[in-house]
Structure 1
Amino acid sequence: MLLSHYLGLLENSEKQLSDAFEYVSRKHKDEPDIEQICQKLSAWSREHHGKVMSFCQKYSEQQSSEPDKLKRDLFAEKRSGSLTLLRDLHDLWLLAQEVQLCWIVIRQAALGLRDEELKATHEFCNARTKRQSDWLLGRIKQAAPQTLLVAEQ
């Protein structure tokens, strides 16, 4: 069974998303909403990570460490200037999409296994991940006109 591979992928992706939200929270303290909301969304991903760990142990075989460098690669460039917040939000959204896709795949496995606990965990965590993505998309839409049309280089 290769479920452990995807659980490892999800576990690692949730950790990276949590770390990335913390990073953006610290980096953009001057933005009124960014610091507090990113800290809250980071806490959600930390909680999801903890929930996934129990399933990693339950279905442990060989776990994936594939996305180890995803956060590092997305946030690699030292950014400054007015485009920084928009690009950081964009990178967060990409990480959130990775997590959401992993949850979708895990749900399919949970259905096949008839694992009610895993299905319930999916419902809880995936709903929050969707809220993370929705907030990020809304904040990107808010920042884009000001950043792209008004801000200086």
Structure 2
Amino acid sequence: MHLAHYLRLLHRSQTALAEAFREIRRGHPHEPDMYGVCERLAVQCRDQARWLEPFVRRYEPWTSPSPEPERLHQPLFAGTRPGGLGLLRDLHDLYLLATECDIACAMIAQGAQGARDDELLDVVRRCGGELAVQLLWLRTRMRHAAPQALVVAS
């Protein structure tokens, strides 16, 4: 059973996303909406990672050793960049990381259905709902930042 591989991937990605939201909040202090929104989204991601921990432990014993999980997890956020273009690129990186989480949730939901694990299915559906809101906010915020960053020289 390889469900634990994706559970570990999602757990690591959620943890990385939480830290990335916090880093963007710190790296772009001149953006007034970043402080509150990014902190709230970071807390959501941290909570989601905690919700997954019991399932990682539950499915770990049935996992065959494989190098694949390490190859699946590539850093998608490498720190903040200055200026308007930097903000746009940082939000873009966060969007990619959140999308990785979203896709992992969808795959885990399929695995949970196959394993008939309703408890895990409930958790990943809740995570997926919160991720959908995060992705919507990131897309909206990128659209808001793009004209200034791409057209007006800073």
Q: Return structure 1 stretches of 4+ with deviation > 2 angstroms.
A: 61-69, 78-82
Q: Which runs of 5+ in 1 are unaligned?
A: none
Please show how residues 72-87 of structure 1 align to structure 2 within 5 Å.
74-75=77-78, 79-87=81-89
Taking structure 1 as reference, are residues 20 and 31 closer, same or farther at Cα in structure 2, changes over 3 Å only? same
- Structure 2 SS opposite 1:30: coil
2:105/2:124 contact within 8 Å kept: yes
What is the CA–CA distance in structure 1 between the aligned matches of 2:110 and 2:7, rounded to whole Å? 12
- Structure 2 SS opposite 1:151: coil
Please show how residues 111-150 of structure 1 align to structure 2 within 5 Å.
111-150=113-152
Instruction: Figure out how many residues of one structure are paired with residues of the other and give that number.
Output: 149
- Structure 2 SS opposite 1:60: helix
Taking structure 1 as reference, are residues 36 and 132 closer, same or farther at Cα in structure 2, changes over 3 Å only? same
CA positional deviation for 1:113: 1.1
**Alignment partner of 1:10 is 2:10:** yes
CA positional deviation for 1:89: 0.4
1:15/1:46 contact within 8 Å kept: yes
Q: Give aligned-pair identity as a percent.
A: 38
TM-score (normalised: structure 1): 0.90
Residue number among 100, 103, 107 corresponding to 2:102 in the alignment: 100
CA positional deviation for 1:68: 5.1
**1:79-128 per-position Cα deviation (integer Å, ceiling 9, x unaligned):** 33331111110010010000000000000001111111011101111000
1:45 is matched with which residue?
45
1:70 is matched with which residue?
75
TM-score (normalised: structure 2): 0.90
- Structure 1 SS opposite 2:32: coil
